[in-house]
Amino acid sequence: MQLKFNVEDGCLIVEMHGELDHHSAEGVRIKVDNKIEELGVNKLIFDFTGVNFMDSSGIGVIIGRYKKLKDYDGKVAVVNLKPQIKKIFELSGLFKILNEYKTVQEALLSL
Amino acid sequence: MFKNEMKLEFPSKSVNESFARVVVAAFASQLDPTLEELSDVKTAVSEAVTNAIIHGYENTEGIVTLRCYIEGNKLTIEVEDNGKGIENVELARQPLYTSRPELERSGMGFTVMETFMDSLEVYSEVGKGTKVVMTKTFKSV
């Protein structure tokens, strides 16, 4: 899985490309955590536009980052989930703790 | 009734999770599934194989066996490991239950398999291993 980082208005935007499973989850976790610490941000947007597959390992990654930022009054949002990925989010109750937006711009305005 | 089957064995390396789900998707494609049905199957296989690697073998090296059977428009998938087994299958199948919270596991693996497939059976013996059997009938045929 390839990651591209952008920062806008004190918010870290993680553009993901590829498949998010147990194999790729560890790399994503480490890279995102390092970036959060390096920048000292407490707002995070995961852009799923380039993610074609995710299983429940992805849920762990999102919840883990949510918990981390919650300690700093932070927030997490996700952008542009494919229908299959959305099903997993719904099943896990993830929408109780974060929202999905159509675009990164929309997410930035709401965070 | 049309019948077909396949068997695949691979070592319990996490890089093989994507390999396994792509193999099953390719095998299932002869049933002309919709894209949604195919994603459902890929996700369920990914969960079962990940469980075998993380929990069955606890990231040590072992062999994961994947078998698929087609009967008419029904696909049966078996994922088997010879790892440590599950002490309490009923508990393991509960949503949000995980034996490895320190790994940031969501505990949703079996729930995803149940939701995305038509049926799920789990056979496990402590010290011997676990076999997960899932079926899905493709409506599009």
Q: Does A106 touch chain B (CB under 8 A)?
A: no
Q: Which is catalytic among the residues B37, B51, B78, B80?
A: B51
Q: Indicate whether B2 pLDDT > 60.
A: yes
CATH number (domain holding residue B36): 3.30.565.10
Q: Nearest to residue A11, comparing CAs of A54, A57, A45, A61?
A: A45
Taking the C-alpha atoms of residue B50 and residue B43, their distance in angstroms, rounded to an integer, is 11
Q: The complex's ipTM?
A: 0.92
The answer to whether A18 faces chain B, any CB pair under 8 Å, is no
pLDDT at B141 over 70: no
User: How far, in Å, CA of A21 to CA of A41, rounded?
Assistant: 25
Specify the residue for token string 């709401």.
Answer: A110
Confidence (pLDDT) at B57: 97
Task: Give the gap in angstroms from C-alpha A2 to the nearest C-alpha of chain B.
Answer: 15
Q: What pLDDT, on a 0 to 100 scale, did the predictor assign at position B132?
A: 98
Judged against a pLDDT cut of 90, whether residue A27 lies above it is answered with yes
Is a pLDDT exceeding 90 seen at residue A37?
yes
Q: How many domains does chain B have?
A: 1
CATH 3.30.750.24 fits A2-110, yes or no: yes
Domain ranges, ordered by start, for chain A:
2-110
Tens of pLDDT, residues B50-62: 999 999 999 789 9
Could you give phi then psi for residue A19, rounded to 5 degrees? -120, 130
Q: Helices A22-39 & B16-28, crossing angle to 10 degrees?
A: 130
Where does the pLDDT of residue A34 fall: very low under 50, low under 70, confident under 90, or very high at 90 and above? Answer: very high
> Is A61 in Cβ contact with B105 (below 8 Å)?
no
Cα angle, residue A53 at apex, residues A47 and A57 outer, rounded to 5°: 85
Q: Which of A25, A55, A60 sits opposite B112 (nearest CB)?
A: A55
Per-chain mean pLDDT for chain A: 96
Query: Per-residue pLDDT tens for A41-70?
Result: 999 999 999 999 999 999 999 999 999 999
Supply A61's token pair.
């990654």
| Partners of A18 in beta bridges | A51
The pLDDT-based confidence of B102 (bands split at 50, 70, 90) is: confident
A57 touches chain B (CB under 8 A): yes
What is the domain range of residue B125?
A: 3-137
Closest CA of chain A from B111, distance in Å: 8
Alpha-carbon distance of A97 to A69, in angstroms, equals 12
pTM for this model (two decimals):
0.94
Report pLDDT for B84: 96
Residues 33-92 of B with CB under 8 A from A: 36, 39-40, 42-43, 46-47, 50, 53-54
